[in-house]
Chains A and B, each alone.
Chain A
Amino acid sequence: MKNWKKIAEASQLPIPEPDLDRITPSLDALEAAFRPLTKDIPDDVEPAVSFFVFPERAE
């Protein structure tokens, strides 16, 4: 798992240690769910950063 405290420190985020302790389990759980998904993204897929719904893709 990632060391969230070190990441916060390196990013110079002034998050108090007790608050970091409180959010660590949530971040770990999300990391465990999300990380495996990134391994299979096809190379040519672009991000939906500007998100539009394309009705033609309904069919």
Chain B
Amino acid sequence: MTILEAAAALRKRSVSSAELTEAALTSVRELNPKFNAFITVLEDAARAQAKAADAELSKGTDRGPLHGVPIAVKDVFETRGVLTTCGSALFKDNIPTRDAAVVEKLAAAGAVLIGKTGMHELAYGITSNNPHFGTIRNPRDPDRIPGGSSGGSGAAVASEMVFMAMGTDTGGSIRIPAAFCGTVGLKPTSGRVSRYGVMPLDFSLDHMGPLARSVRDAAVTLQTLAGFDPRDETSSREAVDSYVPADGSSIRGVRIGLPENFYFDRLDPEVDAAVRRMAKNAESLGAHVVPVRVPDIASLNAVGRVILLAEASAVVEKYAGRRDQFGADVMALIDQGRLVAATDYINAQRLRRVMQRNFAQLWRRVDCLFTPTTPMGAPRIGETTVQLGDQTEDVRLASTRLVRGINVLGLPALSMPCGVDRRKLPLSLQIVGRPFDEALVLRVGAALENAGSGA
């Protein structure tokens, strides 16, 4: 069942929010010991919210499609009076006094908050193998990582504990778990969703977005969250679009760029085939697939890594002396960031501007890009390298290779399932759009999903 199906059932009174919430809590009780998707479960609060939602709906007060629907948020979103750890020992007792803007908006929409999902420590990594709160496991294969850093959100949605879970994405942290767990993940344009009340990993690369069971559910969530927030200095005043594609929306005439360089290098052949199959499917729905050469993404990734290392280390500098409170992988990244020269950071931000301009030229020729989200399916827990063709690649660098650059550019990107590999592991398509053109990205994704391409 999707959010939109649950919303319809709630309004037909064929199910109540209390029933949906009880089913979610039962599912969490049964599955969380296996997957470790949640750090905090809010049983009593969720039941109270569900009861209130049922009462409002019965009186005709309708807050929209999320009203009465069980959801979760990553443990990086501040929740007033509720533990918010950021997956870190530093914040193991942190009880915020405010709600993040995202949490405020979800509450105003009547969503039922089941709990706070686990994550890679400080949102700084892609395995979600957390030394303080335990290893999060992939519901598609519990011996494999769910991806990260929003690994708990991916696991919670993929195992159907909740309908939607919020994640954050600094270098792929929504899209990678979506890809590895076989869910939809949406990273909106920079400035589209407020960062207020989200514990930062990075000042200029962090984005907030949903992991969901369907493209339309991701669209419904974005519709709820999008908009200007004066409390976030990078929040955009760009008008909010209508994001939820109408049934039967056409993609006839949409120009889809299929990169000839970079994005199809060093892939599992099954990923290559699955993404190209999606392009063919889009073509059969009336879209035009256009071969394009994209600007130098390897250089864009290098720029993104310099920015992230420097900014993330600046964020945690005051805690860096407490080395025993960090996992080894995160401490290593923080140490690297402390050694980045100020001139290199500034030049990385200048290169970012140059590359943003170069990339913008592409939108004269196409409306969106199709790429793989990750070069391979989910690695096993504990694997540090993957073999892609004749090359051995670091798991973290391989997992972020096709997604990191999009954060540097601030563009909207949707990850959606596009089949499974020989091991039944999910494969994922990434659709990248123009700035603030989430509506088109979601319309293309929904059309493919409607046509049965997202299975």
CA gap between A41 and B436 in the complex, in Å: 27
By the criterion CB–CB under 8 Å, are B190 and A51 in contact? yes
Specify which chain B residues have a CB less than 8 angstroms from the CB of A26 in the assembled complex: 332, 336
A53 touches B339 (CB 8 A): no
Q: Mark B167-209, 1 if CB is under 8 A from A, else 0.
A: 0000000000000000000000111000000000000100000
Q: Which listed residue, B298, B339, B356, B363, touches A48 by the CB 8 Å rule? A: B356
Given that A22-B332, A26-B336 are known contacts, is A45 also in contact with B360, CB under 8 Å in the complex? no
Q: Considering the chains assembled together, what is the distance between the CA atoms of A19 and B410 in angstroms?
A: 33
A51-B303 in contact (CB<8A): no
Given A19-B332, A47-B352, A58-B363, output 18 extra A-B contacts at Cβ < 8 Å: A7-B339, A8-B338, A16-B323, A30-B305, A30-B336, A34-B303, A37-B303, A37-B351, A45-B350, A46-B353, A48-B349, A48-B356, A49-B204, A49-B346, A50-B233, A53-B436, A57-B360, A57-B435
Contact A13–B338 (Cβ < 8 Å) = yes
Name A43's closest neighbour in chain B (CB-CB).
Answer: B350
Is A55's CB under 8 angstroms from B357's CB? no
Alpha-carbon distance A4/B191, docked complex (angstroms): 36
Interface residue tally on A, bucketed by range: 35 or more
Task: Check A15–B338 contact: CB distance below 8 A.
Answer: yes
- B360 and A51 contact, CB distance less than 8 A: no
Assess the B353–A45 pair: CB atoms within 8 A: yes
Contact of A33 among B189, B233, B298, B360 (CB under 8 A): B298
* Contacts between the two chains (Cβ within 8 Å), count: 110
- CA–CA, A21 and B437, complex, Å: 45
Q: Is B352's CB under 8 angstroms from A51's CB?
A: yes
B204 touches which of A7, A19, A23, A51 (Cβ 8 Å): A51
Which of these, A4, A19, A50, A57, contacts B234 with CB under 8 Å? A50
CA distance A53 to B363 in the complex (A): 14
Distance between Cα atoms of A43 and B352 in the complex (Å): 14
* Interface residues contributed by chain B, number (CB under 8 Å): 44
Known contacts A15-B338, A26-B336, A38-B344; decide if A54 and B435 are in contact (CB<8 Å).
Answer: yes
CB of A57 within 8 A of CB of B332, answer no
Tell me the complex Cα distance, A14–B336, Å. 13
- Measured between alpha carbons, how far is A58 from B410 in the docked complex, in Å? 12
Q: Which residues of B contact A16 (CB under 8 A)?
A: 323
Known A-B contacts A23-B332, A50-B233, A50-B234; A55 and B350 likewise in contact (beta carbons under 8 Å): no
CB–CB A59/B435 < 8 A = no
**B401 interface residue per 8 A CB criterion:** no
- B430 lies within 8 A of chain A by Cβ: no
Nearest CB of chain A from residue B76's CB, rounded to whole Å: 20
Is B306 on the interface with A (CB-CB < 8 A)?
A: yes
Contacts of A58 in B (CB 8 A): 360, 363, 434-435, 437
B306 nearest CB neighbor, chain A only: A34
Within 8 A of A (CB), among B392-432: 410-411
Interface 1/0s, chain A 1-15, versus B by CB < 8 A? 000100110010111
Give chain A residues whose Cβ lies under 8 Å from the Cβ of B347: 37-38, 41, 47
**In contact, B435 and A34 (Cβ under 8 angstroms):** no
20 contacts across the A-B interface (CB closer than 8 A) = A8-B338, A11-B339, A13-B335, A13-B338, A15-B338, A19-B331, A19-B335, A26-B336, A34-B305, A34-B306, A34-B344, A34-B348, A38-B347, A41-B354, A46-B353, A47-B347, A50-B234, A53-B436, A54-B435, A58-B360
Most A Cβ at <10 Å: residue of B190, B298, B348? B348
CB of A51, distance to nearest CB on chain B (Å): 4
Q: Within the assembled complex, what's the spacing in Å between the Cα atoms of A31 and B112?
A: 47
Residue among B191, B335, B350, B364 making CB contact with A41, cutoff 8 Å: B350
C-alpha spacing A34/B335, complex, angstroms:
18
B299 interface residue (CB < 8 Å to A): yes
Chain B residue contacts of A22, Cβ below 8 A = 332
